[in-house]
Structure 1
Amino acid sequence: MTDLVYEGSLLRGALVVCDGQAAELVQTGAGFHILGAVETLAALAPDFLWKLDASGVNQVDLVSGAVATRSGGSIVAAAEQVGQPLAFAPGSNGYVSADIGSFNSGNFSAVFDLLTIGTSNTVVLECGDNEGWSVQVDTGGYFKINIGGVASGGLNTTFQIGDGVPRRLGFTYRRADRLGTLYVEGAVLAQKVLGTPNSATALTIGSRFGAFPIGAGSRIADVALWRRTLSAEEMRQTKYRETRDWLLPRAGVHRTYVAIKGEPPVLQGLQAITALASRKLLDVECGGQGRIYGTVSRKSTPANVPLRRRVRLHRSVDGYLARETWSQADGSFEFREISTRYEWDVIAWDHELQEYSTVANNQLAEVA
Structure 2
Amino acid sequence: MRTTPRLLSAALAGALLLTGCSSSDDGEPTPPSYEKSDSVEAQVLPQLAANGEDVESAADAAWVVDATIAGVDKGTAVTLVAKEDDGWSEVDEQETDGKGHVSLTSRASGDLHVVVGDGDDAIGAKVSTEDAPEATFTDDFDEDTVDGKGATWVTRDQGYVGVRTCSRASADAAELADGVLRLSVMEDPDRKGDECQLPGKRKRFAYRLNGHVGTEATYAFTYGFAAARIRTQAARGQHAAFWMQAVGGQGTGGPKKGGAEIDIIEYFGDDHPEGGLTSFTYFLDKAGRKQTVGGWLPNADELGDDWAEKYHVFSVEWTPKEYVFRIDGKVTQRLKGETSGRPEFLILSLLSSDYELPRFNGELPETMEVDWARVWETGPKG
TM-score, normalised to structure 1, is 0.40
TM-score, scaled relative to structure 2? 0.39
